Chain A
């Protein structure tokens, strides 16, 4: 698949928003550094703190984009996306800290983690994607829960506590050279975005959308819908694996909570809030929601005697938000905006047509 098109000014004009966002993202460490008056290349300080936050947001962005590829674009619902995320983390950690592998453990870990994610996607897909959609939801939930229970009681991987990684090479270490790590994550994030965008603009993407709208019709037209759905699940699994690997490297530890429902529910919620089936929606949803969560974590609202600890009630607020959004705001931020704009365009086109009609009758 070709990832870049030839350069043209029209493309720049059409994508000015994305290009502005790209420049902002690349310049982010230095912009924040200038704003907070601290050195972005140092080991600590406000600039470095914000780089850390941004890295986390970008990782959530990759995870949510991968979820959206399945749920938003293909119409396949998974309740066990955390499986790919967490398993990739565990595999990477396991190989990285293995003393026998010495220096190459990290690389082997990444390759194996991504290969297992792809294989698992293929396996789960072939087993259930030819059945009704609900089976896929059940199966992913069951497998994720199974691995979660197993790893949270499996002593060689530290049971409930998980384990920490071995020392990372200096240039790659997110604490010692965070700026480099930031750019690695940012590059992967941009690559994921371009990949999904190019995919959805390609004929393959059109078939995925057709499957979402009406699978039996897509099959009748002659497409092997199973193969297309398998492609979507394998790609989504690998991308979720990338997010899991980056998350593990950032925190330098893995634990069974990476396989918990939170890492399935959050991408789902973020996809829906941002706009399922849109390119920018999941990015906006993931970043917005995660930022909100980080900001609200330590907020307490004091009303007279009673103290409302937002951090403690946050999960239930998010849960309520989840349900509210599904009922009243199903197209999400980007989806609603696009519909509003299209409506306006349609209305103005109608108006112009009417005016033309009026002019014609006058003359």
Chain B
């Protein structure tokens, strides 16, 4: 697979691998033999053994990275196609989380569908449907009239993100929701180097990996994928060939919002639903997109994992040495700032 990449991509890939291995090694070395309790967003765990801590950090990072990818994928492809950076993408993630929470915790729905797994599935599907509907509405109703004014496109997606948060605040209030019911998938756990780890997290990582591969196949093997890739290269040229890029763009935009909402839905069982998810995941995803290189799909996928793992390592390091959980939330933004300062075209981006 490495051989298929162009030389500069190969060097970027090597750079990413080196950074990843470095981060993991760092987390491995700094875990020490301290007994510590971490209460970051991914639940509490008690660490005593190096290998266990190491695997937990890795899995937490992978999990966070997968969730970031679900938001970043749409962001990246949409930007590549039409130069629109959708600042509302985090809002869709947040909406997805609230919908999944609501479906799982409303008494009437619990009475109708007692099976937790089924209810979760229903919540996720509903989140996807609503995310897609809202995404299509945003693209058709608000972005289309503004193609002549790109500055205002940015302004409007920013406005929509504010509107989504305010609407959510009006419907669900300001207090965050934490997932209280347990269901089949969520119950299972397994032992890894003496550590408890929920099967559910593995499930989310699996969903993320499946989506990475599914989207890659879509881009590489289908006609629409060819149009998208060609459009990312030069959308005017594709239009000149008689292909309706706008229609493809609407589809991609809608799909991107739906996937972001799905991300929120699958994240809800351990992140809960709160207003802060919107900006947090937007900025994390933007960090991943910029780090990967605006418009580069494989860059986005790799960078999402990189940002996620960085966050997990920083969370661990922050709790252990700085006693400040704030660094975990800051790390994507610091990373983003560093990338913009040092290599604004990202790891895989063209100059």
Contact = CB atoms under 8 A, between A and B. Distances in A.
Q: Do A and B come from one complex?
A: yes
Interface of A: 71, 75, 77, 79, 127-128, 131, 133-135, 137-139, 141-143, 145-146, 149-150, 153-154, 261, 265, 268, 272, 312-313, 315-316, 319-320, 322-323, 326-327, 330
A323 B156 contact: yes
Nearest to A316: B166
Contacts of B169: 315-316
A135 B333 contact: no
Which of A128, A146, A154, A315 is the most central at the interface, judged by chain B CB atoms within 10 Å of its CB? A146
Given A127-B340, A138-B290, A316-B167, A265 B162 contact: yes
11 contacts: A79-B158, A133-B151, A141-B283, A143-B337, A149-B326, A149-B329, A150-B326, A265-B162, A268-B158, A316-B167, A319-B159
Interface string B328-351: 011001101100110010000000
A142 B340 CA distance: 11
A145 to B, nearest CB: 6
A323 B159 contact: yes
B146 interface: yes
Contacts of A79: 87, 158
Given A265-B162, A316-B167, 12 more contacts: A71-B151, A75-B151, A77-B154, A131-B340, A133-B150, A138-B336, A141-B283, A149-B330, A150-B330, A319-B166, A320-B163, A323-B159
A127 B343 CA distance: 10
B152 interface: yes
A153 B163 contact: no
Interface in B134-175: 142, 145-146, 149-152, 154-156, 158-160, 162-163, 166-167, 169-170
B283 A142 contact: yes
A326 B152 contact: yes
Interface in B157-210: 158-160, 162-163, 166-167, 169-170
B255 interface: no
A17 B4 CA distance: 69
B85 A322 contact: no
Which of the listed residues B149, B162, B163, B344 has the most CB atoms from chain A within 10 Å of its own CB?
A: B162
Interface in B31-76: none
B279 interface: yes
The 3 A-B residue pairs with the shortest CB-CB distance in the complex, in nearest-first order: A319-B163, A146-B333, A316-B166
Interface residues of B, number: 39
Interface string B119-145: 000000000000000000000001001
Contacts of A322: 159, 162-163
A326 B283 contact: no
A139 B337 contact: yes
Nearest to A139: B340
B156 A326 contact: yes
A312 B170 contact: yes
B85 A142 contact: no
Nearest to B289: A138
B340 A137 contact: no
Contacts of B273: none
Contact of B341 (A127, A141, A265, A323): A127
Interface of B: 83, 85, 87, 142, 145-146, 149-152, 154-156, 158-160, 162-163, 166-167, 169-170, 279, 283, 286-287, 290, 324-326, 329-330, 333-334, 336-337, 340-341, 344
A316 B151 CA distance: 23
B138 to A, nearest CB: 10
Given A272-B155, A326-B155, A316 B337 contact: no
Given A127-B340, A133-B151, A327 B145 contact: yes
Contacts of B340: 127-128, 131, 135, 138-139
Nearest to B336: A142
B333 A143 contact: yes
Contacts of A145: 279, 283, 333
Nearest to A323: B159
A268 B337 contact: no
Contacts of A146: 330, 333-334, 337
Contacts of B287: 142
Contacts of A261: 162, 279
B162 A128 contact: no
Contact of B142 (A268, A319, A323): A323
Contacts of B162: 261, 265, 319, 322
Contacts of B156: 323, 326-327
